[in-house]
Amino acid sequence: MRAITIPEPGDADSLVLDEVPDPVAGAGQVLIDVVAAGVNRADVMQRLGHYPPPPGASEYPGLEVSGRIAAVGDGVEQWQVGDEVCALLDGGGYAERAVAPAEQVLPVPRGVSLVDAAGLPEVACTVWSNVFLVANIQPGQVLLVHGGSSGIGTMAIQLAKAVGAHVAVTAGSAEKLDVCRELGAEFLVNYKEEDFVERLHELTKALATNGRLVTIGLMGGRRGELDMGMLLAKRGAVIATSLRARPATEKAAIVAAVREHVWPLIEAGDVRPVIQSRHPLEHAAEAHREMEASGHIGKILLTT
Ligand SMILES: NC(=O)c1ccc[n+]([C@@H]2O[C@H](COP(=O)([O-])OP(=O)(O)OC[C@H]3O[C@@H](n4cnc5c(N)ncnc54)[C@H](OP(=O)(O)O)[C@@H]3O)[C@@H](O)[C@H]2O)c1
């Protein structure tokens, strides 16, 4: 099969389309004929040599795909050859075939195309696990999403809105904020022009009393200063998580929760994948350049 490989870390042109051996579904796994793969910041970090795949994962980039089941490994009963699915992977999505643990596979939600379903697993699992399972957002509370127009942000806005939370966002342009508003954000801050902490005082405080600050990305840098006294006075929490590093059992539980809670919202039309662009697999470098330019809104996909 053909797959995108990274012979040497570096710029986007380090992504090389190559002929490689087909992966094989082991016990508890499925083999997927990939139709599309989502592009993630983690893939960019991996390409740069800063984010090696975890032990046992494919060495090729790609954390999510959609496609059809081509084979099932021993012990897999919930999926059959030919099923149209999307899946959260440990790696190897930028390829014509990929292997996924059966418990990290989801059906394509009704109303979503097989290609666009590739943009769902990573954002749905990241947002559900952080905003709902970790931060335990409640109806009527305020969720502030930094990077509101990002792949993650576009899903976070819609899911929080769907459960009756109020959504505030930051983003870097008026065009991006317009999309955030269309998706359900009520409070919009262009962080390049305004101080979000000051603006947010019109609505709440950042951080609110009993607030939860959940860090999932480090695009603004890995270090910051925190006044622990203020955190204590506000009874606040600071939490940071990474989906890829979680053990398989935790990923399976998150995928099951996403199927139970998020898939019905998508099938009802309350939540939709927001897709910026679809590039052929052989143009993976172009897709990475598009992501690194940061002008996109929503997800960038590769198609086989
Ligand atoms: N921990 C996890 O498990 C996990 C899982 C998935 C993703 N992530 C992380 O979540 C983040 C978003 O991922 P994604 O795939 O949705 O990314 P994305 O679609 O590429 O969007 C990222 C956006 O963030 C904005 N941004 C960049 N630097 C910023 C800064 N310093 N302050 C505020 N906004 C900034 C940019 O838009 P503007 O600046 O123009 O607004 C950029 O377009 C990434 O850091 C990614 O690594 C973490």
Q: Tens digit of pLDDT for each residue in 131-164?
A: 999 999 999 999 999 999 999 999 999 999 999 9
Tell me if 126 sits within 8 A of 150, measured CB to CB: no
Predicted TM-score (pTM) of the model is 0.97
Which ligand 1 atom sits closest to the C-alpha of 219? Answer: 28
Residue 201 DSSP class: T
Q: Which of 219, 277, 291, 297 to mutate to test the pocket of ligand 1 (most atoms within 8 A of CB)?
A: 219
Q: For 142-179, give one letter per residue: b (16+ CB within 10 A) or e.
A: bbbbbbbbbbbbbbbbbbbbbbebbbbbbbbeeebbeb
Render pLDDT for 65-91 as a digit per residue (tens, 0 to 9): 999 999 999 999 999 999 999 999 999
* Residue 54: predicted pLDDT: 87
Tally the residues of the chain.
Answer: 304
Ligand 1 cavity residues, CB under 6 Å: 40-42, 122, 126, 146-147, 149-152, 171-173, 176, 191, 216-217, 219-220, 241-243, 291, 294
pLDDT of residue 143: 98
Ligand 1 nearest-atom number relative to CA 171? 41
Contacts of residue 65, Cβ cutoff 8 Å, sequence gap at least 6: 32, 34, 35, 36, 37, 38, 86, 87, 89, 93, 98, 100, 118
**Ranges of the chain whose pLDDT falls below 50:** none
Q: Are 93 and 64 in contact (CB under 8 A)?
A: yes
| Contact yes or no for 29/40 (Cβ under 8 A) | no
Task: Give the pLDDT of residue 214.
Answer: 98
Q: Measured from the CA of 173, which atom of ligand 1 is nearest?
A: 40
Query: 241 C-alpha vs ligand 1 centroid, how far in Å?
Result: 14
